[in-house]
A and B are shown apart, each in its own frame.
Chain A
Amino acid sequence: MAAKGKVKKTFLSGLGADNPIFAQVLGICSTLAVTNVLKNTVVMVMGLIFVTSLSNFTISLLRNYIPSRIRMMVETLIIAAYVIIVDIVLKAYVPDISRQLGPYVGLIITNCIIMGRAEAFALSNPVGLSVADGLSAGMGYGYVLIIIAFFRELLGSGSIWGLRVLGSWWTNWFIMVMAPGAFFMLAIFIWVVRGLITEREKEEVKS
Chain B
Amino acid sequence: MNPSVYPVAIFFAAIFTNNILLTNYLGMCSFLSVSREIKTSLGLGAAVIFVMAVTSALNWIVYEYILIPLDLTYLRYIVFIIVIAAFVQIVEMIIERVSETLYAALGIFLPLITVNCAILGASLFMVIRQYNFLSSFMYGFGSGIGWSIAILAMAGIRQKLKNAKIPRGLEGAGITLIITGMMALAFIGFTGMIKIS
**Which residues of A approach B to under 8 Å, CB–CB?**
25-30, 32-33, 72-73, 76-77, 80-81, 83-84, 87-88, 102-103, 106-107, 109-112, 115, 175, 178-184, 186-187, 190-195, 198
Contact = CB atoms under 8 A, between A and B. Distances in A.
B27 A183 contact: no
B95 interface: no
Contacts of A83: 77
B77 A84 contact: yes
Chain B contact residues, majority secondary structure: helix
B124 to A, nearest CB: 4
B123 to A, nearest CB: 9
Given A76-B81, A76-B82, 7 more contacts: A28-B32, A80-B81, A178-B184, A181-B181, A183-B177, A183-B184, A191-B174
A180 B186 CA distance: 9
Contacts of A26: 29
A191 B180 CA distance: 15
Given A29-B117, A32-B25, A109 B180 contact: no
Point out which of B25, B74, B114, B128 has the most chain A C-beta atoms below 10 A from its C-beta. B25
A190 B174 contact: yes
A186 B23 contact: no
B67 interface: no
B121 interface: yes
Contacts of B69: none
B181 A183 contact: yes
B169 A195 contact: yes
Contact of A184 (B26, B127, B169, B181): B181
B124 A29 contact: no
Point out which of A26, A83, A102, A103 has the most chain B C-beta atoms below 10 A from its C-beta. A103
Given A102-B128, A112-B29, A183 B178 contact: yes
A109 B77 CA distance: 8
A77 B84 CA distance: 13
Nearest to B180: A183
Nearest to B119: A110
A87 B167 contact: no
B28 A180 contact: no
Task: Please provide the 4 A-B residue pairs with the shortest distance between their CB atoms, ordered closest to farther.
Answer: A183-B181, A195-B169, A194-B169, A187-B177
Given A106-B77, A178-B188, A198 B168 contact: yes
A84 B25 contact: no
Nearest to B117: A110
29 contacts: A28-B28, A28-B32, A29-B118, A32-B25, A33-B24, A72-B114, A76-B81, A76-B85, A80-B78, A83-B77, A84-B74, A87-B77, A103-B124, A106-B76, A106-B124, A107-B26, A107-B124, A179-B24, A179-B184, A182-B181, A183-B178, A183-B181, A187-B178, A190-B169, A194-B170, A194-B174, A195-B169, A198-B168, A198-B169
Contacts of A184: 177-178, 181
Nearest to A35: B25
Nearest to B187: A179
Contact of A190 (B78, B114, B119, B173): B173
Contacts of B116: 110
Given A103-B125, A183-B177, A187-B178, A29 B27 contact: yes
